[in-house]
Amino acid sequence: MRLYEELLALYGKQGWWPLFNPIKNKFEYYSGNPKNFKQKLEICLGAILTQNTNWNNAEKALLNLINKNLINIDKLDRIPENKLALLIKSSGYYKQKAKKIKEFIKFLKSNKEITRENLLKVWGVGKETADSILLYAYDKPYFVTDNYTKRFFSKLDYCKKDIGYDELQKLITSKIPKDINLYKEFHALIVKHSKINKDGLKQ
DNA sequence: TACCAGGTCCTCG
DNA sequence: CGAGGACATGGT
């Protein structure tokens, strides 16, 4: 919590995930919960598109889907995979990601419960993507332990640099209150800090 | 030009 | 399990 307070003092509230604002015609970091299913879906798609890819590239791909009115399960279910792939080309790994989106949409249409266990069974959804979806789209308390997070805590000697995903998640959540907004903001601050301090993590 | 970005899956041992 | 490779674009 001391680290969280320091980061917050340093950078201020970040907002945690970019959502497209049609009025302003741009992505904005929001500081609340997604208001409707469409926003949830947009976050889920963004989580898949940004896998091992910078947000800028993922954003262009997402914008293509938004402009084609494709943030919609039925439409995404119907569009041919190769056509979808071309729309998201800028996000890299575009053929794989098209398949991942298709698989994810299939999962949503199955009406299975959105749990970590069920998400991890979906092809293309690993631990980080599952936790991002659960936390940012579905407001469930799962701390996202991505590479930034691992680097952040290992450089500060809170853990080994090859610590496993679940292990680091457990370590962090055992030391802070189980609060969704805290999880969201803390992770956003870690990302912010890590992007600024590529090498020298001080403080 | 080379490296990397808010990973995941598959294969092999 | 775990290491190693494949997947791919765009920015710096």
State pLDDT tens for residues A162-173: 899 999 999 999
Question: How far apart are the C-alpha atoms of A53 and A47, rounded to whole Å?
Answer: 10
| Percentage of chain A lying above the pLDDT 90 cut | 91
Tokens 């604002």, residue located: A21
Backbone angles phi, psi at A32, to 5 degrees: -165, -160
CB A90 within 8 A of CB A61: yes
Give the pair of three-digit tokens for residue A175: 């030391």
Please give the protein residue whose CA is closest to the C1' of the nucleotide C9: A92
- Separation of A12 CA and B8 C1' (Å): 33
Mean pLDDT, 10 residues at a time, chain A of 203 residues: 96 93 94 93 98 97 98 98 98 98 98 97 98 97 94 92 93 96 95 80 45
Half-sphere exposure of A159 (CA within 13 A, CB side): 18
Q: Which 3 state secondary structure label does DSSP give A164?
A: coil
Nearest 5°: CA angle at A119, between A79 and A67? 30
Nearest nucleic acid nucleotide to A57, CA to C1' distance: C10
Strand B footprint nucleotides (protein C-beta < 7 Å): 4-10
Nearest nt to the A148 alpha carbon by C1'? B6
Q: Tokens in use for A138?
A: 């579905």
Q: Return the closest nucleotide (C1') to the Cα of A43.
A: B6
Q: What is the pLDDT of residue A199?
A: 55
Q: Residue A178's pLDDT is what?
A: 97
Say what the pLDDT of residue A201 is. Answer: 45
pLDDT digits 0-9 by tens, A60-83: 999 999 999 999 999 999 999 999
pTM of the model: 0.95
Q: Give dist(CA A47, CA A41) in Å, integer.
A: 10
d(CA A12, CA A123): 37
